[in-house]
Amino acid sequence: MLIGYISNLFSQANISQSNNYEIMTASDSQSVNYTYATVPTRFIEANGIKFAYRSYGKEGDIPVIYFNHLTANLDNCDPRIMDAIATERHIISFDYRGVGATTGEQGTSIANMAKDAIGFIHALGYRQVDIVAFSMGGFITQELLLQEPALARKIILAGTGPRGGKGISDVAGLTYKDILKGLLTFRDPKFYLFFTQNKIGKEAARDFLKRLKERTEKRDEKVKLSVLSKQLKAIKMWGNDKPADLSVFKHPVLVVNGDNDRMVPTPNSYDLANRFPNSEIVIYPNSGHGGIFQYQEEFLKKAIPFLTK
């Protein structure tokens, strides 16, 4: 019962009211009139996996791919950020292997997650994409660069850090600690993991978690508890691995974070920005790991011009 309750608590923003997905293919019409609360879930096969994804917004040759965080399914994308980007660019979110409605067994390697992401993008028919990546998504994006650098054009890295960064291998302990705190207080662990625990941070947490529940129909499958343990193992291995040489990548990179990130300590953001030769960094005050969700308006004022200029 306890394991089941933890799984439900960690995914309480992922409550699935119906499994009757609108199954569409990449060739189906993609209306700009969708919002993230209404865009249908599509499926496409790559690397022997059937990937669940959502795709909408302004059509263009180069889409924006959103790489999500630890144990996140499609319903864990902030609809305010997704909808705002969709007004200017075509944006696509997707479930990693074994997550949500995507098939397969969740692996324990960040590099393998990047390989899957590359396969997914190629299956959609794209030769180049822009990337917005949050937390673990930023780890995967860096591995994608190492495997196929020409696939990415512009990159936004939020709440993340470089391979081997200080404190990254400690994410597992912190995550389990805040899951327990969530159990005891009947809150989603993201309330503690993503936000500071002062008045401003708590208010931002409540607003963010409320936004994640705006989609009321045809929600994604809940994330399995086994995904948590395997992804945390992958993060620990990646955090203990040798740093990669990011100086060889000339891509425009925007690094953003809160000034008090507990999950991927904020100094990693400065480190990451210094490793990319064509980067800029924005740090939001009085905020944590989910700084881009707390400062969504400020983030979008920076992110959208970065992605459209």
Calculate ∠ Cα 57-129-75, nearest 5°.
50
pLDDT of residue 33: 86
pLDDT of residue 32: 60
Q: For the chain, which domains are there?
A: 2-308 (3.40.50.1820)
How many CB atoms neighbour CB 225 within 10 A?
16
52-79 tens-digit pLDDT: 999 999 988 899 999 999 999 999 999 9
233-273 tens-digit pLDDT: 999 999 999 999 999 999 999 999 999 999 999 999 999 99
End-to-end CA gap in the chain: 52
Which stretches of the chain score pLDDT less than 70? 1-32
Query: What three-state secondary structure class fits 129?
Result: strand
What is the rounded distance in angstroms from the CA atom of residue 126 to the CA atom of residue 180? Answer: 42
pTM for the full predicted model: 0.91
**DSSP codes joined into one string, 205-273:** HHHHHHHTT---SSPPPPPPHHHHHHHHHHHHHHHHSPPP-GGG----EEEEEETT-TTTTTHHHHHHH
